[in-house]
Amino acid sequence: MFKKLKKLAKKAFSSKTYLLLTINKMVPNNLGEVIDISVDREAQHLFVTFAKGIEKASLTIEGYGIEYEGKDAYLIFDTIHKEGYLKSMLKGFHADKRIKVDPKYLKLIEKMV
C-alpha cells in the first residue's frame, strides 16, 4: 500500500512542485502565487509566472547573479521586465538592482540559479 502511495506522490509532485511551494513562501501575498518558474543558466535569465485570482502576470529577470556582502546575500540583476498586473505593482521596484535573500532560502536560490 505504501509503495503505491509513494509512486503516486512521485507522479503528482515533481521537484518543480516542491520548488514552487518553497518559492511561494518567500513571495509577498500581494504579488499572488508563483505558478511557473524557469531558469536559463546560460543566458542568466529567470522567467516567473504569477497568478492572482484569474489574472496572470510575468516577470523576467535578466543578467542575474548572487552577490555577498559579509553575512548578507543579494540576488542581483541587470534588468527586470514586468507584464500584466505586476507592471503597475512593481513600478520602481528595486532600482538598486538587487534583492536581499533571506538566509533560510539562500541554498535554494544558489541551487536554482
Instruction: Evaluate whether residue 96 is within a structural domain.
Output: yes
Instruction: Evaluate whether residue 18 is within a structural domain.
Output: yes
**What is the average pLDDT score of the chain?**
82
* Other C-beta atoms lying within 10 Å of the C-beta of residue 16: 11
As for how many domains the chain has, the answer is 1
* Cell numbers that stand for 8 in this block: 503516486
Structure confidence at residue 98 (pLDDT): 83
Instruction: Evaluate whether residue 78 is within a structural domain.
Output: yes
Instruction: Evaluate whether residue 3 is within a structural domain.
Output: no
Return the top range by mean pLDDT from 7-11, 21-25, 28-32, 94-98. 28-32
Instruction: Evaluate whether residue 6 is within a structural domain.
Output: no
Domain that holds residue 94: 14-112
Walk across the sheet containing 45-52 and list its strands. 33-40, 45-52, 55-62, 79-83
Closest CA relative to residue 68, chosen from 41, 94, 100, 40: 100
Instruction: Evaluate whether residue 42 is within a structural domain.
Output: yes
Instruction: Evaluate whether residue 8 is within a structural domain.
Output: no
